[in-house]
Structure 1
Amino acid sequence: MKLHLLDAVAIFAYLIGIVWIGIAYAQKKRVTSEGYFLAGKSLDWKVIGASLFASNISTVHLVGLAESGFKDGILWGNFEWFSTVELLILAFVFVPFFLKSKVVTLPEFLEKRYDSRSRMILALFSILAALFMHIGISFYAGAVVFEAIFGWNIWFSVCLIAVATGLYTIIGGLSSVVLTESIQTVILILGSLLITLLALFALPEVGIHSFAELKTAVTPDRLSAVNFDSAAKGFSFRDMLFSHLILGIWYWCTDQTIVQRILGAKDENQARLGAVFAGFLKILPPFIMILPGILAFALFRSEIGEDTKSVLPVLIMELLPIGLKGLMVAALLAAVMSSVAAALTSCSTLVVYDVFDRLKPGLTDGKKIRIGRITAGLVLVLAVIWSPFLGNLGAIFELINQMFSIFAPSIVVVFLFGIVSSRGTSQASFLTLLLGSGIAAGVFLTEKYLTVNGVRNFVSSAEGLGINWMSQTVYFFLLSTAIYWATSTMGAKPALNVQVSSLSFSGSSRIVIGLSVLLMACMSVVYFIFF
């Protein structure tokens, strides 16, 4: 597709504008280490919620969810809708402990609860996850779209995104990132909503005039979010329910890339309200990101064929008029830039506070900021080098969740039981992180890459263990739980540096509790419609 002048202007204006806003905002503030890494603990609920949403919704979502909608339907919407529950868990279970412990990073929290070994393991996991998954896969997903639409070389697209994002992130830190993410949230929603509406308006052209006719055209199961039959898609609603709870608690409650916004909150109530606000925003993606994929099945099935990664590019090329294509590309850029910026900030914070500040305590603000900027730059370069080699790894959205499932179960065990119980020991945490993740990684690599008699398999079976990755996530969680409690019962009860408790509503305003109840009511209605 050749870019019209109006589209090119829209893209250029977005890139220049977002970079300028990020840098200009940073220059208005006196830069301190707390300001650079935690936005001076000044974030309110609106910025926290929008930033949580934008950090989460990357081009992986826009491309991957459209592809998943085309292939399987609204069932993949559960990945978004289940997040509402996990964000409430963040608000009422994790927020009080993180803020009261006054930590800058989540590995630091593990050191206070357990010991330095757990801190270093989690810091390593978090840095690698940010580099290879958050940033690398986001770069690749964005580049795939730009290659399909404009014929841009993947290396060119990755470098363009890296330079634009790196400028304001490295200069401004978290303050610039959350401001730009708030703007990008609006662009993301508007761009995705636009393509959904245009796809709906195009249905009469192919003879679809009602919801019943749409269900017939795309097959009814594509519009059902609840499916207990695992035969058709390789997993069921039950598999997704339990595995997503584990993955979601890890992602929303224990991943530095996400939780750093909570750590920068003004106070506990603002943090909780921000998490609830993000929960409401997470209702939207299935309607504006998965539904277009379902509609593409009705509209452009023959054009897409087996090339399911092209679902979103085909929608953009076929539906959007001149001028609006630029807006959609800006939305795609917003998605990838917000995710990359969040992960870069996370990486620099982890390296400064969990590596350098431990090796050489008492670093000045200036040195911490300098190390953070250098780290962000190096991570950006490494991600640029790594991301173009992702082309043969399968469906993007499923891949990223499958890779997360390797280490998420053991991390959730250590955090969750470490918060709700005082019995867990430092040795239990260390062994759970080490063995739980090690065994999961071994199974993943063996299933994917071990070759026996010329056939890639695990136990002489093309399906490996014959257990889908979602079910494996649950089994890895149970294994990690067993390691944690078996080790804990063999050791003496530890002396704790943080207070442990259970579900807490104290410190929450009535509006936080009321909105939480409303959020659950909204989700009940959604599942009633798509049951």
Structure 2
Amino acid sequence: MIDTIIIAVYLIGIMLVGVFSVARKNMSSEVYFLAGRDLNWVVVGAALFASNISTIHLVGLAASGYNEGLVWGNFEWMATFTLIILSLVFAPFYFKSRISTLPEFLEKRYSPASRTFLAFMAILGALFVHIGMSLYAGAVVFKAFFGIDVFVSILVISLITSIYTVIGGLKAVVITETIQTVVLIGGAIVLTIFAIQALPGHGIHSLAEFKAQLKPGQLRILHTDESIKAVSASGSNSGLTWYAVFLGYPILGLWYWCSDQTIVQRVLGAKTQYDAQVGPLFAGVLKLLPVFMLVLPGVIGYVLFRDKIGTDANQAFPVLVNELLPVGLRGIMGAAMLAALMSTVASALNSTGTLVAVDIVQRLRPDTTDKQLVQIGRVASVVIMVLAIAWSTQGDRFTSIFEAINKIAAALAPPIATVFLWGVFSKRGTKQAAIVTLWTGFVLGVMAFCLDFTPISGQMYITDGWGIPFMMQAWWLFCGCSVVYFVVSYSTPRPDPAVIEKYTWENPISIITKGKLTGLADVRILAGLLLLTLVVLYSIFA
């Protein structure tokens, strides 16, 4: 009863904070879609982190830690690496060009056709992945914890999240995400502390005794084919070998962290270029934490409760919460799970409203007033939410939501990563190359996804048959897309020199050398320190 009251108070409280955060604001389109471009780096970074972490992460990373160990932490630490790329490589262009959406950047660099394609892909991604699957995963978790019907959970969470998102726009979203980041990190840290404190009660008093209870290599972050198989018989199918991590994940990260509207919209709303660049670095610092507060508890769960969890790794997180946390703290953890879910859904909902209003309606009807754009964004958000609710009821058709989401990303990311990366580094990239690459990569990605997704093809032809797991699929698709991009670029007329000067770097080194260093707070110094921290962590846990 106490836990339920805590969760109810949190739901009502976060809705009221979201609504009243914009009560006195003049709701122009810039305020609604970009928070008036007034976000500081702390809010940008916290919102980036919160919009990424969902209930799928809480449950999925604990389950992955239980099964294979810290190796799944690569998804978190490599995110830090791509956030550094966002900060140094892309954020300066995004801020200086004063864009409202990422598709708009593609139009400025390439052509309107590229903008239309990316807007369409971003809306589909938000609908099917960010909102739909997150709603279903969250509802399943709440059924396991509190016995609440899946459909009831979906409706309640959708309604409350929609109210403050539709009314308040990005300002309400980022303010609530900042609060939810604190709740999420706090809840996860509490669970980790209780898990560590439970070890002596099971006869484990040292690190050596702890390791002795684990599978070989369960505390390693990097693996070879042989070592990952020693941890899990199906480990090689996960594609988490060291070379797959370093080659494949950056492709997923370039799409997700550097060019996905749902995530990068917070950077577009930054107050200054410094805030736009330091915000991602702060998010990168936060992304170092989930390895210790989400994956590690799953590893500890293997030692403490493997008799209760058995082969169903998805029960690792619920068992840890129910077995270790007292009444009251379980309610706080429930609030943390809500924070993870609501922040992800709110981010995607706000971004789809922005995409529909700015990238579709405003282009079709340039005379649309500012007030009408806000109304269109609100209506679009409601429609997308209704569609996502309908789609979320199909979640039980997938054997693994976490696997499905990553495979969708591996299919979508390569062509988008290609046109964004070479767009800012290649002076020869043309508008024809961009649209041909996007379409070619999209078709190849869909084919790869269908061939390798068991509910569609019956088996994983590429992973099992050809021995190419999903992250290496992303890498090879990126290589293929890059070949297409440059072949078409050198077969078509050079792009406008004025466009190249405005939207590309002089050379790769200029992201570091351009401009004088301004002291320890210089973005390049901060990025270097964060990268050094990442290298040290990898050297310790490799």
**Equivalent of residue 9 in structure 2, options 13, 16, 27:** 13
Structure 1 residues 76, 393: closer, same or farther in 2, change over 3 A? same
1:74-99 residue CA offsets vs partner (Å, 9 max, x unmatched): 00101101111111111111011111
CA contact (8 A) 2:180 2:336 kept: yes
CA contact (8 A) 2:88 2:524 kept: no
1:491 aligns to 2:492 (yes or no): yes
Amino acid across the alignment from 2:16: W
Q: In 1, distance between residues paired with 2:490 and 2:418?
A: 15
1:337 aligns to 2:325 (yes or no): no
Partner residue, 1:201: 197
Amino acid across the alignment from 1:335: A
Deviates more, 1:156-165 or 1:169-178: 156-165
Give the SS at the match of 1:218: coil
1:99 aligns to 2:82 (yes or no): no
Partner residue, 2:85: 89
Amino acid across the alignment from 1:181: E
Partner residue, 2:161: 165
Amino acid across the alignment from 1:174: L
**Equivalent of residue 403 in structure 1, options 387, 400, 408:** 408
Partner residue, 1:465: 466
Q: TM-score, normalised by structure 1?
A: 0.95
- The 5 Å alignment of 1:66-465 reads 66-229=62-225, 232=229, 233-234=235-236, 235=239, 236-448=241-453, 456=459, 458=461, 463-465=464-466
Amino acid across the alignment from 1:176: A
Q: In 2, distance between residues paired with 1:57 and 1:351?
A: 25
CA contact (8 A) 1:269 1:509 kept: no
Amino acid across the alignment from 2:310: G
Structure 1 residues 256, 322: closer, same or farther in 2, change over 3 A? same
Amino acid across the alignment from 2:289: L
Q: Deviation of residue 229 (structure 1)?
A: 2.2
Q: In 1, distance between residues paired with 2:85 and 2:402?
A: 24
Partner residue, 2:479: 478
Partner residue, 2:534: 523
Q: In 1, distance between residues paired with 2:222 and 2:452?
A: 28
CA contact (8 A) 1:45 1:273 kept: yes
Give the SS at the match of 2:190: helix
1:405-431 residue CA offsets vs partner (Å, 9 max, x unmatched): 101010011011111112111111111
1:340-377 residue CA offsets vs partner (Å, 9 max, x unmatched): 00101110000001110011003111100100001111
CA contact (8 A) 2:411 2:445 kept: yes
Q: In 2, distance between residues paired with 1:37 and 1:146?
A: 31
Q: In 2, distance between residues paired with 1:66 and 1:94?
A: 32
1:162-208 residue CA offsets vs partner (Å, 9 max, x unmatched): 01111100000000000000000000000001111111111122211
CA contact (8 A) 2:136 2:392 kept: yes
Give the SS at the match of 2:503: coil
Q: Deviation of residue 263 (structure 1)?
A: 0.6
- Name the % identity: 46
Q: In 1, distance between residues paired with 2:175 and 2:156?
A: 21
- The 5 Å alignment of 1:500-511 reads 500-501=504-505, 502=508, 503-505=510-512, 506=514, 509-510=518-519, 511=521
Structure 1 residues 486, 166: closer, same or farther in 2, change over 3 A? same
Q: In 2, distance between residues paired with 1:340 and 1:491?
A: 41
Q: In 1, distance between residues paired with 2:97 and 2:153?
A: 41
Q: In 1, distance between residues paired with 2:383 and 2:175?
A: 23
Q: In 1, distance between residues paired with 2:109 and 2:47?
A: 28
CA contact (8 A) 1:67 1:311 kept: yes
Q: In 1, distance between residues paired with 2:537 and 2:440?
A: 39
Amino acid across the alignment from 1:321: P
Partner residue, 2:232: none
Give the SS at the match of 2:199: helix
Give the SS at the match of 1:169: helix
CA contact (8 A) 1:64 1:395 kept: no
Q: Deviation of residue 463 (structure 1)?
A: 2.2
Q: Deviation of residue 504 (structure 1)?
A: 2.1
Q: Deviation of residue 388 (structure 1)?
A: 2.5
Amino acid across the alignment from 2:479: L
CA contact (8 A) 1:80 1:285 kept: yes
Q: Deviation of residue 130 (structure 1)?
A: 0.4
Q: Deviation of residue 397 (structure 1)?
A: 2.7
CA contact (8 A) 1:450 1:457 kept: no
Give the SS at the match of 2:95: helix
Q: In 2, distance between residues paired with 1:143 and 1:215?
A: 35
1:219-240 residue CA offsets vs partner (Å, 9 max, x unmatched): 2411000112266111212111
Q: Deviation of residue 449 (structure 1)?
A: 5.3
Q: In 2, distance between residues paired with 1:415 and 1:23?
A: 35
Deviates more, 1:187-196 or 1:511-520: 511-520
Give the SS at the match of 1:161: helix
Amino acid across the alignment from 2:78: F
Amino acid across the alignment from 1:308: A
Q: In 2, distance between residues paired with 1:207 and 1:487?
A: 64
Structure 1 residues 219, 34: closer, same or farther in 2, change over 3 A? same
Q: In 1, distance between residues paired with 2:133 and 2:88?
A: 31
Structure 2 unmatched ranges of 5 or more: 230-234
1:29-70 residue CA offsets vs partner (Å, 9 max, x unmatched): 111100000000100011001001101111111111111111
CA contact (8 A) 1:90 1:275 kept: yes
Deviates more, 1:332-341 or 1:378-387: 378-387
Q: TM-score, normalised by structure 2?
A: 0.94
Q: Deviation of residue 437 (structure 1)?
A: 1.5
Amino acid across the alignment from 1:237: W
Give me the CA root mean square deviation.
1.7
